[in-house]
């Protein structure tokens, strides 16, 4: 039997990698403007890290983690998200007392055993950021604004920033009880999943995707009407700061997020063009997680973006300059030309130029066809005549113009003029 890739994972092929590299380059451009530095973390961790941070009653921990015993008998989990690992690294490496808020970003694969469908994979990639050490609300607003700037730079239209406040330990326990009481009145109208979990996690009924739960949720009390005074003030400041710099947003009182570590500001960026899995980005404030994982009290704010969803939304121009093409394609005819092509390719690459060539000594016509397919900027033609005269033919593939040049002249003919960046 032919072995195939596992359900819910994707290959990112060489002909589409430029899209990923472009997104990554924009992250490397925009995030440092706000003081973020990259951090690279392990892909697997001690299982307890995720169950303690994401929450035992969340879908992720209850049914979506890739957990296994390693050969030493330890329980290991492939990371379902990045925040827990960043917090673990922060504590383990004692990254305390930075000169200002500690800001880090990361990119890489995450793993969740979800039911695969359009926009939902079992291995997917995120780019995420975490800012550690400020209770906000300025950090909250700066970071949400940064996401919107990042997505705008990538050419995304029709996206919406939705915000909510999840309050704090002061107001949430009473609200949960109130919510449970109200949900019980509609228990026969809920989906099976919510019926089973509302006692443990009543807030999830609010953002359940099942239509019947959506109808019930409309009539349930809203957490933003039951916030403790400090959380209410925080939320009012977040809104006023967003207004002051003109970042458009809407308040979505049903937004609760699927991970338990959040408090106060929570947000998502959604697109109508994504179908039912419409969140490109989700995040918020998590002020108690560092302490819960036995670090010093450190209020934090962060988000993660789903890269597969992002790639599917960006209106890429398939003939874009972002696609890498060789500087030159070498066409060679005859044995002597073949060894000359070998030497020239070596010399040009050593000078920093990218070179493709024919390896099979196909006919001139077929080699020229390949040159076109590679979309090289130039084609260099080496045949018997050219070897005899010492003059090679260099064809500019854009203009169609051909010129004769010596091997010494090649580098300067092919090199692109320096772009003045001033």
Contacts of ligand HAM in 38-97 (CB under 6 A) = 81-83
Q: Does 395 bind ligand HAM (CB under 6 A)?
A: no
Edge-to-edge strands, sheet with 75-78 = 44-46, 75-78, 66-69
Structure letter (DSSP) for residue 251: E
Binding residue (CB under 6 A) for ligand HAM from 23, 171, 304, 355 = 304
Does residue number 313 form part of the binding site for ligand HAM (CB under 6 A)? no
- Polymer length in residues for the chain: 422
| Nearest C-alpha neighbor of 81 from the set 116, 35, 130 | 130
For position 121 contacting ligand HAM by CB under 6 A, the verdict is: yes
Dihedral angle at the C-alpha atoms of 50, 54, 59, 64, nearest 10 degrees? -20
Applying CB under 6 A, which of residues 167, 295, 302, 326 lies at the interface with ligand HAM? 302
Q: Which of 205, 306, 377, 394 binds ligand HAM (CB under 6 A)?
A: 306
Q: Is 99 left (phi over 0), alpha (psi -120 to 50) or beta?
A: alpha
For the packed helices 229-244 and 138-153, what is the interaxial angle rounded to 10 degrees? 40
Which of 31, 90, 106, 124 is the binder for ligand HAM (CB under 6 A)? 124
Please identify which residue in 128, 137, 295, 299 interacts with ligand HAM, judged by CB under 6 A: 128
Span of 96-104, 123-131, 231-239, 246-254 interacting with ligand HAM by CB under 6 A: 123-131
Q: In what order do the strands lie in the sheet with 300-306?
A: 37-38, 102-111, 123-132, 300-306, 279-285, 263-271, 159-165, 250-251
Segment interacting with ligand HAM (CB under 6 A) among 37-45, 121-129, 172-180, 235-243: 121-129
Which residue of 58, 85, 126, 201 would you call a contact of ligand HAM, by CB under 6 A? 126
State the nearest-atom distance from the C-beta of 204 to ligand HAM, in Å.
13
Sorted by sequence, the CB contacts under 8 Å of residue 337 that are 6+ apart come out as: 382, 383, 384, 386, 387
Confirm or reject binding of residue 120 to ligand HAM (CB under 6 A): yes
Q: Which residue in 263, 318, 274 sits closest to 137, CA to CA?
A: 263
Q: What is the largest CA-CA distance in the chain?
A: 93
- Measure the CA angle with vertex 254, ends 58 and 158; round to 5°: 105
In the complex with ligand HAM, the residue whose CB is nearer, 304 or 341, is: 304
Is there binding between residue 253 and ligand HAM (CB under 6 A)? no
- Give the nearest distance from C-beta 143 to ligand HAM in angstroms: 9
* Residue from 258, 273, 312, 336 binding ligand HAM (CB under 6 A): 258
The residue nearest ligand HAM at its CB is 306
Query: At its nearest, how many Å lie between ligand HAM and the CB of residue 345?
Result: 41
Mention every residue, 6+ apart, whose C-beta is less than 8 A from residue 297: 288, 290, 291
Closer CB to ligand HAM, 162 or 327, in the complex: 162
Pair type for strands 378-382 and 392-396: antiparallel
What count of other Cβ atoms lies within 10 Å of the Cβ of residue 337? 23
Out of 45, 59, 130, 358, name the contact with ligand HAM by CB under 6 A.
Answer: 130
Pick between residue 77 and residue 83 the one whose CB is nearest to ligand HAM. Answer: 83
Touching ligand HAM, residues 166-225 (CB under 6 A): none
Single out the segment in contact with ligand HAM by CB under 6 A; choices: 29-37, 42-50, 241-249, 297-305.
297-305
Interaction of residue 326 with ligand HAM, rule CB under 6 A: no
Q: Which residue has the tokens 């003919």?
A: 413
- Cα 132 from chain centre: 20
Which phi-psi region, left, alpha or beta, contains residue 192 (left: φ > 0; alpha: ψ -120 to 50)? alpha
Q: Taking CB under 6 A as the rule, does residue 281 contact ligand HAM?
A: yes
> Where does this chain touch ligand HAM (CB under 6 A) — which range of 41-49, 186-194, 196-204, 279-287?
279-287
* Contacting positions for ligand HAM (CB under 6 A): 81-83, 112, 114, 120-121, 124, 126, 128, 130, 258-259, 279-284, 302-304, 306, 308-309
């Amino acid at each position: 039997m032919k072995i195939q890739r596992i359900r819910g994972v994707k290959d990112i092929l060489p002909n589409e990698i430029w899209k990923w590299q472009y997104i990554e380059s924009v992250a490397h451009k925009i995030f440092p403007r706000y003081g973020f530095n990259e951090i690279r973390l392990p892909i697997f961790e001690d299982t307890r890290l995720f169950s303690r941070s994401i929450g035992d009653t969340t879908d992720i921990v209850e049914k979506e983690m890739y957990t296994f015993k390693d050969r030493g008998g330890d329980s290991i989990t492939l990371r379902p998200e990045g925040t827990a690992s960043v917090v673990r690294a922060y504590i383990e490496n004692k990254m305390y007392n930075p000169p200002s808020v500690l800001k880090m970003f990361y990119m890489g694969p995450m793993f969740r055993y979800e039911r695969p469908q359009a926009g939902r994979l079992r291995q997917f990639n995120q780019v995420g950021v975490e800012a550690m050490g400020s209770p906000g609300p300025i950090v909250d607003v700066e970071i949400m604004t940064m996401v919107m700037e990042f997505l705008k730079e990538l050419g995304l239209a029709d996206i919406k920033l939705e915000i909510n406040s999840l309050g704090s330990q002061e107001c949430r326990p009473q609200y949960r009880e109130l919510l449970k009481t109200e949900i019980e009145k509609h228990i026969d109208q809920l989906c099976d999943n919510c019926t089973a979990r509302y006692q443990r996690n009543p807030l999830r009924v609010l953002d359940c995707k099942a239509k019947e739960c959506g109808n019930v949720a409309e009539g349930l009390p809203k957490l933003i009407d039951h916030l403790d005074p400090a959380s209410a003030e925080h939320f009012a400041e977040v809104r006023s700061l967003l207004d002051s710099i003109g970042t458009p947003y809407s308040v979505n009182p049903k937004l609760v997020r699927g991970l338990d570590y959040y408090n106060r500001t929570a947000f998502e960026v959604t697109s109508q063009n994504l179908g039912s899995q419409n969140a490109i980005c989700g995040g918020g404030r998590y002020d108690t997680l560092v302490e819960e994982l036995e670090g010093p009290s450190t209020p934090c704010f962060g988000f993660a973006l789903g890269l597969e969803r992002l790639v599917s939304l960006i209106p890429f121009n398939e003939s874009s300059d972002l696609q890498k093409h060789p500087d030159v394609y070498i066409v060679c005819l005859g044995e002597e030309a073949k060894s000359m092509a070998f030497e020239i390719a070596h010399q040009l690459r050593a000078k920093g130029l990218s070179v493709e060539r024919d390896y099979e000594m196909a006919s001139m016509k077929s080699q020229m066809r390949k040159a076109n397919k590679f979309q090289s900027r130039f084609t260099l033609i080496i045949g018997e005549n050219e070897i005899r005269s010492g003059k090679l033919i260099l064809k500019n593939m854009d203009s169609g113009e051909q010129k004769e040049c010596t091997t010494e002249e090649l580098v300067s003919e092919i090199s692109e003029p320096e772009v003045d960046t001033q």
